[in-house]
Amino acid sequence: MEKKQVSRRLYVGGLGHTVSKAELQERFSKFGRVLDAEIITRKDEQGNPMKTFAYISVSISETDLRKCKYIFISSLVTYVSEPSYITDNVS
């Protein structure tokens, strides 16, 4: 039986500030097809990295999503990102 793939946007927190897009793609491609990875680093007033997280868009089955969350539970904060409810009003 073939697993149904759905597109999900995952929030991944607890990353080191030196993480690369290639590293994230390698780690998450074991569970599904990585469509995009966006790394965001928050910095303090002096420009020092304080918090690094990422949004990863992946085509993944529900079974593989559960496996992914289970495997990374001890090292990374991983959950499905909620869709943005902010809409642009174009006049």
Q: Which pLDDT tens digit goes with each residue over 63-88? A: 999 898 888 766 776 667 766 544 44
For the cut 80, the answer to whether the pLDDT of residue 90 exceeds it is no
Query: Between residues 5 and 83, which one has the greater pLDDT?
Result: 5
Phi, psi of 87 (to 5 degrees): -120, 145
Q: HSE-up of 8 (CA within 13 Å, CB side)?
A: 24
List, as one string, the DSSP characters of 36-91: EEEEEEEE-TTS-EEEEEEEEEEEE-HHHHHHHHHHHTTT-EEEEPPPP-------
- pLDDT reported for residue 2: 59
Token pair listed for 57: 């868009």
Q: Which amino acid is at 56?
A: I
- Write out pLDDT tens, residues 16-49: 999 999 999 999 999 999 999 999 999 999 999 9
For the cut 70, the answer to whether the pLDDT of residue 54 exceeds it is yes
Partner residues linked to 36 by β-bridges = 57
Mean pLDDT of the chain: 85
CATH 3.30.70.330 fits 6-80, yes or no: yes
